[in-house]
């Protein structure tokens, strides 16, 4: 019996770190059982270099990834919307009842007091 492929959409503020990492890990561990995308409310120009470096350390290459804005077609076609930060929880489009709505609220690892990681 063939299992239905699940569609997961990871969302955060800038799509430069948390959501890119979540997308990559879900693709790596989910294989052919999931279709995964990520996006941000206000996407950055590029995936942060520290994100690329951290993922390279675990064997996942994000060097060719780009930051994306929320796409409502992908949003509405998803089985699960995973909101990774408080900013997205407050400003995300309303998730229809048929879609699983998950709030993880993970602190931005690039936002450190004093701005040391904001390069």
Residues with a catalytic annotation lie at 12, 85, 92
Give the tokens for residue 59: 């064997």
In Å, what is the CA distance from 25 to each residue of 10, 20, 41, 42, 75? Answer: 11, 9, 21, 22, 19
How far does Cα 82 stand from its chain's mean position? 8
């Amino acid at each position: 019996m063939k299992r239905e492929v699940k569609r997961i959409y990871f969302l955060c503020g800038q799509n430069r770190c948390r959501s890119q990492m979540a997308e990559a890990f879900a693709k790596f561990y989910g294989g052919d059982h999931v279709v995964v995308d990520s996006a941000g409310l206000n996407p950055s120009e590029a995936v942060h270099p520290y994100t690329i470096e951290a993922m390279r350390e675990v064997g996942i290459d994000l060097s060719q990834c780009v930051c994306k804005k929320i796409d409502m077609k992908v949003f509405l076609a998803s089985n699960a919307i995973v909101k990774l930060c408080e900013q997205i929880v407050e400003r995300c489009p309303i998730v229809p009842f048929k879609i699983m709505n998950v709030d993880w609220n993970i602190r931005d690892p690039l936002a450190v007091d004093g701005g040391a990681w904001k390069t």
